[in-house]
Amino acid sequence: MGLFDNILKDDESLFLNPEHLDYDYQPKLIPFREQEQQYMATCIKPLLQNRNGKNLLIYGPPGIGKTVSSKQVIKELEGYEDKITPIYINCWKKSTSHKIAVEVCSQLNYKWTHNKNTEELLKQIAEILNKKTALLILDEADKIEDFSFMYSFLEDIYKKSLFLITNNIDFLTKLDSRMLSRLSLSELEFKPYNLNQTKDILKTRKDYAFVKNVFEEEAFNTLVEKTYNLRDIRTGLYLLKEAGNIAETKASRKIILEHAQQAINNLKEYKIKNSSTLKEEEKLILNTVKENSGKTLKEIYNILTKNNEIPYRTFTRKVKFLNNNNMISSEEIMTETGGKSFKLHYGSIKKLGEY
Ligand SMILES: Nc1ncnc2c1ncn2[C@@H]1O[C@H](COP(=O)(O)OP(=O)(O)OP(=O)(O)O)[C@@H](O)[C@H]1O
Ligand SMILES: [Mg+2]
């Protein structure tokens, strides 16, 4: 063997089809979510028979296939264009009724949106959608800032299904009870994948993404285990890509255990970087926790409210959200009076350290 045989040449890459590791890549098949997709289909089926459909709340923690499965259902509706108009909106990107309305118009190919207010747009949308039946999927529904679009959809469209997707069902408390009863939501919970399922999903993505045999088994298994512990396939895709990039920077022809471990070490930074998509109040809370990591919930609230007005309930809700998204972690403690309290830590350091 020559001295330089193990070194990757300048024009060589370990990646074959790296787009298979993109978070918004839509794989041909979504294994282990057949039942969930079937249930979604059941809610939509009446629309294909020109009857009213069911409304559905789809919920579960991040990175376990809620978005990708619902998009798959839309894909399966190809061929039924004469009966149903499917619309998918990511409410993190479009959070106000006006933005949602403009986006819906664009998906409907309705171009005369300029100089029209939300109400006028809603009227146009109803006119178009009522020619057939409609499926509206509002993904990241907890990010919706005002619900007038949703109200109008429920009131003015005759035959429809509304799917709300979220990992934080608390937002439903913002809806009034009349609206909730009108919605009469069925529920579909997504639960995390088990270890074998996690491995299977990542293996398929890896086999497409990388050149054959470059990923060493030991390195891959380490990343699978980490992904399973975090219950988040999106993080798993990040880890696969990161390990590949690290191996390439080192001009290695193989992705070995050391690269996988380095990728896991880089995770902390990745989670925090994601915070660029947070809202102002959430950022404020995250920064306060960062500067006061290890202090109790109460202490952090007191520090925060010295300069800002945030109701305690909003604060605890946002803390829960940051915690669910692994941006902060909480540790249960006993107070001197024997009650329960929490210490907050910045990042998912504690959680990651536990595994
Ligand atoms: N069964 C599966 N097969 C293949 N890829 C999957 C599967 N489940 C999830 N993924 C992939 O994992 C990533 C995260 O999935 P998805 O975006 O659907 O998560 P989510 O449940 O909507 O999360 P969030 O609540 O954070 O929006 C995506 O890149 C998706 O392609
Ligand atoms: Mg999603």
Identify whether residues 324 and 228 lie together within a single domain.
Answer: no
Residues 182 and 57 in one domain: yes
Same domain for 306 and 181? no
Q: What is the b/e burial string over 291-311, where b = at least 16 CB atoms within 10 angstroms of the residue's CB?
A: eebebbbeebbeebeeeeeee
> Which residue type sits at 229?
N
In-domain check, residue 293: yes
Last residue of a domain, one of 162, 189, 216: 189
pLDDT tens-place string over residues 90-105: 998 899 999 999 999 9
The torsion region of residue 254 among left (phi > 0), alpha (psi -120 to 50) and beta comes to beta
State the pLDDT at residue 353: 30
For residues 58 and 159, membership in a common domain is answered with: yes
**Residue 92, domain member (yes or no):** yes
In a domain, residue 38? The reply is: no
Question: Which among 106, 20, 30, 103 is positioned nearest to 67, based on CA atoms?
Answer: 30
Q: Which CATH number does the domain housing residue 239 bear?
A: 1.10.8.60
Q: How far is the CA of 253 from the centre of ligand 2 (A)?
A: 34
> Is residue 5 assigned to a domain?
no
Q: For residue 80, what pLDDT band results from cuts at 50, 70 and 90?
A: very high
Question: Which atom of ligand 1 lies nearest, measured to the CA of 204?
Answer: 4
Residue whose CA is closest, atom 7 of ligand 1? 65
Instruction: Give the pLDDT confidence score for residue 331 in this predicted structure.
Output: 81
User: Of 274, 295, 322, which residue is a domain's last?
Assistant: 274
Q: Are 255 and 219 in contact (CB under 8 A)?
A: yes
Both 178 and 309 in one domain: the answer is no
pLDDT value at residue 349: 42
Report the interhelical angle of 118-129 vs 97-107 (nearest 10°). Answer: 40
Residues with a CB atom less than 6 Å from ligand 1: 23, 27, 30-33, 62-68, 167, 201, 233-234, 237
Of residues 24 and 37, the one with the higher pLDDT is 37
Model confidence at 350, pLDDT cuts 50, 70, 90, reads very low
The two structure tokens encoding residue 48: 């294909």
Residue 67 and residue 182 share a domain: yes
Q: How far apart are CA 324 and CA 278, in angstroms?
A: 13
Question: Running DSSP on this structure, what letter comes out for residue 169?
Answer: G
**CATH number, position 120:** 3.40.50.300
Q: Give, using CA atoms, the residue closest to atom 8 of ligand 1.
A: 65
Q: Mark which of 189, 208, 243 sits at the end of a domain.
A: 189
Host domain of residue 298: 278-354
**Looking at the predicted structure, is the pLDDT value of residue 355 above 80?**
no
- Whether the pTM exceeds 0.85: the reply is no
- Lowest model confidence (mean pLDDT) among 8-22, 173-187, 230-244, 267-281: 267-281
The total domain count for the chain is: 3
CA distances 181 to 160, 241, 330, Å, are 16, 45, 35
Which numbered ligand comes closest to the C-alpha of 68? 1
Assigned domain for 34 exists: no
Q: Do residues 58 and 147 both lie within one domain?
A: yes
CA of 23 to the centre of ligand 1 (A): 7
Q: What is the pLDDT of residues 151-165, one digit of tens each?
A: 999 999 999 999 999
Is the domain of 285 the same as that of 344? yes
Q: Do 214 and 293 fall within a single domain?
A: no
Would you say residue 35 lies in a domain?
no
Q: Is residue 32 part of a domain?
A: no
For ligand 1, mutation pick of 203, 233, 271 (most atoms within 8 Å of CB): 233
**pLDDT higher at 341 or 240:** 240
pLDDT at 354 exceeding the cut of 50: no
Phi, psi of 336 (to 5 degrees): -60, -30
Beta strands in the chain (DSSP E): 56-59, 84-90, 133-139, 160-166, 186-189, 328-334, 340-346
Nearest-10 Cα torsion for 274, 278, 284, 289: -40
- Given a contact cutoff of 8 angstroms between Cβ atoms, the answer to whether 62 and 230 are in contact is no
Query: Phi/psi class of residue 78: alpha, beta or left (left: φ > 0; alpha: ψ in -120 to 50)?
Result: beta
Mean pLDDT of the chain: 90
CA–CA dist 198, 20 (Å, integer)? 16
Same domain, 133 and 162: yes
CATH at 328: 1.10.10.10
The ligand whose atoms approach the alpha carbon of 69 most closely is 1
* Same-domain status, 199 and 171: no
Check residue 117 and report its DSSP letter: -
- Residue 143 domain-assigned (yes or no): yes
Can you tell me the distance from the alpha carbon of 272 to that of 286, in angstroms, rounded to the nearest whole number?
10
Nearest C-alpha to atom 13 of ligand 1 is from which residue?
Answer: 234
* Residues 207, 123 within the same domain: no
Instruction: Give the pLDDT confidence score for residue 149 in this predicted structure.
Output: 93
Q: Which atom of ligand 1 is nearest to the CA of 22?
A: 29
pLDDT tens readout for residues 183-238: 999 999 999 999 999 999 999 999 999 999 999 999 999 999 999 999 999 999 99
